[in-house]
Structure 1
Amino acid sequence: MTPPVNRRQLLLSAAGAAALASASRYGPLAGRAAAASRTTGGARGAAGAAGPLDEAGVVARPFAPGRVRPTTGRWRDNMDRTLEYLRFVDTDRLLGNHRMNHGLDTRGAEPCGGWEAPDFEFRTHSQGHFLSAWAQAWALTGEAVFEEKAAYMVAELAACQTAPAGFNTGYLSGFPESDFDTVETGRRKGVPYYCLHKTLAGLLDVWRLTGNTEARDVLLALAGWVEWRTGRLTYEQMQTTLRVEFGGMNAVLTDLCLQTGDERWLVVARRFDHAAVLDPLAAGEDRLAGLHANTQVPKIVGAAREYKATGDRRYRDIAVNFWDIVTGAHTYVIGGNSQAEHFREPGAIARYLTDDTCESCNTYNMLRLTRELFTLGPERVAYADYYEAALLNQMLGQQNPDDPHGHVTYFTPLTPGSRRGVGPAWGGGTWSTDYDSFWCCQGTGLETHTQLMDSVYFQDDAGLYVNLFIPSVLDWAERAVTVEQTTDFPASDTTTLRIDGAAGEWALRIRIPGWTSGATVRVNGEVRDIAADPGGYAVLRRTWAPGDTVTVRLPMDVRLLPAPDDEHVQAVAYGPVVLSGAYGDQDLGGRLPVLATDSLTATDEPLTFTATADNTAVTLIPFYDNRQNYTVYWATPGD
Structure 2
Amino acid sequence: MGNARPTPSEQACGPAVPTPSGRAVHRPLGIRDVALTGGPLGRWQQVNRDASIPLGIKQLGEAGNLDNLRLAAQSVAGELGEDAAAAFRGPRFSDSDVYKQLEAVAWEAGRAPDDDLMDFVRQAGELLLAAQRADGYLNSYYQVVAPEKEYAELAHSHEMYCAGHLIQAAVAIARVGGGEQVRTVATRFADHLVKVFLHDGNPGIDGHPEIETALVELHRVTGERSYLTLAEKLVNERGKGLISGRGRRYLQDHLPVREADTHVGHAVRALYLEAGIVDVYLETGDESLLECSVRRWNDMVAAKTYLTGGVGSRHAQEAFGDRYELPPDRAYTETCAAIASIHWSWRLLLATGEGRYADLIERTLYNGFAASTSTDGTRFFYVNPLQRRHDHFEGDDPGRRNEWFSCACCPPNIMRLVATLGHYVASVSEPADALFVHQFVPGTIRAELPSGAAGVSVATDFPWAGTVSFTIDQAPGSEWTLAVRAPVWSTAVSIAVDGQPTDVAPDESGYLRLRRAWKPGEQVTLELDMTPRIVYPHHRMDAVRGTAAVERGPLVYCVEQADQPAGVDVDDLALVPGTEPQVVDVDDLAGVGRTVTLHLNAVVVAPPGNGSPDSATPPYSTTPPEEQVTTTPTTAVAIPYFQWDNRDGAAMRVWLPVAHRSAP
- Please, what TM-score do these two structures have when normalized by structure 2? 0.78
Are residues 1:622 and 2:625 paired? no
Which of residues 419, 425, 433 in structure 1 aligns to 2:403? 433
The aligned amino acid for 1:579 is: Y
Are residues 1:336 and 2:310 paired? yes
The aligned amino acid for 2:418 is: H
Are residues 1:412 and 2:384 paired? yes
Match of 1:450 in 2: 419
Match of 2:552 in 1: 574
Tell me, which stretches of 5 or more residues in structure 2 are unaligned?
11-17, 78-86, 241-251, 586-595, 606-630
Match of 1:545 in 2: 519
Displacement over 6 Å in runs of 4+: 43-49, 422-425, 585-590
Are residues 1:363 and 2:338 paired? yes
Are residues 1:598 and 2:578 paired? yes
Match of 1:8 in 2: none
The 1:45–1:392 alpha-carbon spacing in structure 2 relative to 1, beyond 3 Å, is: closer
Which of residues 173, 180, 185 in structure 2 aligns to 1:213? 180
Are residues 1:272 and 2:234 paired? yes
The 1:520–1:187 alpha-carbon spacing in structure 2 relative to 1, beyond 3 Å, is: closer
The 1:309–1:592 alpha-carbon spacing in structure 2 relative to 1, beyond 3 Å, is: farther
The aligned amino acid for 2:576 is: A
Q: Following TM superposition, by how much is the alpha carbon of 1:184 offset from its aligned partner in structure 2, in angstroms?
A: 4.9
The aligned amino acid for 1:345 is: D
Q: Secondary structure at the match of 2:577?
A: strand
Match of 1:612 in 2: 602
State whether residues 44 and 217 of structure 1, in contact with CA within 8 Å, keep that contact through their aligned partners in structure 2. yes
Which of residues 448, 452, 468 in structure 1 aligns to 2:439? 468
Which of residues 484, 488, 491 in structure 2 aligns to 1:514? 488
The aligned amino acid for 1:282 is: R
State whether residues 347 and 565 of structure 1, in contact with CA within 8 Å, keep that contact through their aligned partners in structure 2. yes
CA distance in structure 2 between the aligned counterparts of 1:181 and 1:267, rounded to whole angstroms: 28
The 1:156–1:181 alpha-carbon spacing in structure 2 relative to 1, beyond 3 Å, is: closer
Q: Secondary structure at the match of 1:169?
A: coil
* Bigger shift: residues 628-637 or 454-463: 628-637
State whether residues 514 and 534 of structure 1, in contact with CA within 8 Å, keep that contact through their aligned partners in structure 2. no
Match of 2:158 in 1: 191
Are residues 1:66 and 2:67 paired? no
Match of 1:128 in 2: 99
The 1:233–1:344 alpha-carbon spacing in structure 2 relative to 1, beyond 3 Å, is: farther
Are residues 1:490 and 2:490 paired? no
The 1:78–1:513 alpha-carbon spacing in structure 2 relative to 1, beyond 3 Å, is: same
CA distance in structure 1 between the aligned counterparts of 2:225 and 2:660, rounded to whole angstroms: 59
CA distance in structure 2 between the aligned counterparts of 1:444 and 1:318, rounded to whole angstroms: 27
Q: Provide, for residues 441-471 of structure 1, a one-character-per-residue CA deviation record: whole Å limited to 9, x for no partner.
A: 1121111211222211111221211111111
Q: Secondary structure at the match of 1:59?
A: coil
State whether residues 151 and 159 of structure 2, in contact with CA within 8 Å, keep that contact through their aligned partners in structure 1. no
Match of 1:143 in 2: 114
Q: Provide, for residues 520-568 of structure 1, a one-character-per-residue CA deviation record: whole Å limited to 9, x for no partner.
A: 1111111112224797211111111111111110113314131442442
CA distance in structure 1 between the aligned counterparts of 2:513 and 2:223, rounded to whole angstroms: 36
Q: Following TM superposition, by how much is the alpha carbon of 1:186 offset from its aligned partner in structure 2, in angstroms?
A: 5.5
Are residues 1:480 and 2:449 paired? no
Q: Secondary structure at the match of 2:523?
A: strand
The 1:231–1:280 alpha-carbon spacing in structure 2 relative to 1, beyond 3 Å, is: closer
Q: Secondary structure at the match of 1:157?
A: helix
Match of 2:245 in 1: none
The aligned amino acid for 1:544 is: W
State whether residues 65 and 451 of structure 1, in contact with CA within 8 Å, keep that contact through their aligned partners in structure 2. yes
The 1:68–1:180 alpha-carbon spacing in structure 2 relative to 1, beyond 3 Å, is: farther
CA distance in structure 2 between the aligned counterparts of 1:417 and 1:335, rounded to whole angstroms: 21
Q: Secondary structure at the match of 2:186?
A: helix
State whether residues 592 and 633 of structure 1, in contact with CA within 8 Å, keep that contact through their aligned partners in structure 2. no
State whether residues 147 and 210 of structure 1, in contact with CA within 8 Å, keep that contact through their aligned partners in structure 2. no
Q: Following TM superposition, by how much is the alpha carbon of 1:46 offset from its aligned partner in structure 2, in angstroms?
A: 7.1
Q: Secondary structure at the match of 2:424?
A: coil
Are residues 1:285 and 2:251 paired? no
* Backbone CA RMSD of aligned residues: 3.3
Match of 2:588 in 1: none
Q: Following TM superposition, by how much is the alpha carbon of 1:397 offset from its aligned partner in structure 2, in angstroms?
A: 2.4
CA distance in structure 2 between the aligned counterparts of 1:599 and 1:117, rounded to whole angstroms: 59
State whether residues 467 and 510 of structure 1, in contact with CA within 8 Å, keep that contact through their aligned partners in structure 2. yes
Are residues 1:634 and 2:638 paired? no
Percent sequence identity over aligned pairs: 22
Match of 1:228 in 2: 195
State whether residues 601 and 610 of structure 1, in contact with CA within 8 Å, keep that contact through their aligned partners in structure 2. yes
CA distance in structure 2 between the aligned counterparts of 1:230 and 1:168, rounded to whole angstroms: 18
CA distance in structure 2 between the aligned counterparts of 1:418 and 1:117, rounded to whole angstroms: 38
Q: Following TM superposition, by how much is the alpha carbon of 1:438 offset from its aligned partner in structure 2, in angstroms?
A: 5.8
Q: Provide, for residues 127-157 of structure 1, a one-character-per-residue CA deviation record: whole Å limited to 9, x for no partner.
A: 1111111111012112222223212211221
The 1:423–1:205 alpha-carbon spacing in structure 2 relative to 1, beyond 3 Å, is: farther
Q: Secondary structure at the match of 2:428?
A: strand
Q: Following TM superposition, by how much is the alpha carbon of 1:365 offset from its aligned partner in structure 2, in angstroms?
A: 0.7
The 1:145–1:477 alpha-carbon spacing in structure 2 relative to 1, beyond 3 Å, is: farther
Tell me, which stretches of 5 or more residues in structure 1 are unaligned?
1-42, 107-115, 162-166
Are residues 1:584 and 2:562 paired? yes
Q: Following TM superposition, by how much is the alpha carbon of 1:485 offset from its aligned partner in structure 2, in angstroms?
A: 0.8
The aligned amino acid for 1:294 is: V
The 1:588–1:446 alpha-carbon spacing in structure 2 relative to 1, beyond 3 Å, is: farther
Q: Secondary structure at the match of 2:320?
A: coil
Q: Provide, for residues 143-186 of structure 1, a one-character-per-residue CA deviation record: whole Å limited to 9, x for no partner.
A: 2222232122112211222xxxxx56111222124858658556
Aligned residue runs from structure 1 range 75-114, under 5 A: 75-84=41-50, 85-87=52-54, 89-90=57-58, 94-103=65-74
The 1:332–1:92 alpha-carbon spacing in structure 2 relative to 1, beyond 3 Å, is: closer
Number of corresponding residues: 567
State whether residues 266 and 320 of structure 2, in contact with CA within 8 Å, keep that contact through their aligned partners in structure 1. yes
Q: Following TM superposition, by how much is the alpha carbon of 1:406 offset from its aligned partner in structure 2, in angstroms?
A: 3.7
Match of 2:609 in 1: none
CA distance in structure 2 between the aligned counterparts of 1:474 and 1:324, rounded to whole angstroms: 31
Q: Secondary structure at the match of 1:608?
A: strand
Q: Secondary structure at the match of 2:422?
A: coil
Q: Provide, for residues 22-69 of structure 1, a one-character-per-residue CA deviation record: whole Å limited to 9, x for no partner.
A: xxxxxxxxxxxxxxxxxxxxx9787999x9943522111110112111
Q: Secondary structure at the match of 1:95?
A: helix
Match of 1:377 in 2: 352
Q: Secondary structure at the match of 1:344?
A: coil
Are residues 1:297 and 2:264 paired? no
Q: Secondary structure at the match of 1:545?
A: coil
Q: Provide, for residues 182-226 of structure 1, a one-character-per-residue CA deviation record: whole Å limited to 9, x for no partner.
A: 585567554332222212211222122224433332111111222
The aligned amino acid for 1:618 is: A
CA distance in structure 2 between the aligned counterparts of 1:636 and 1:574, rounded to whole angstroms: 18
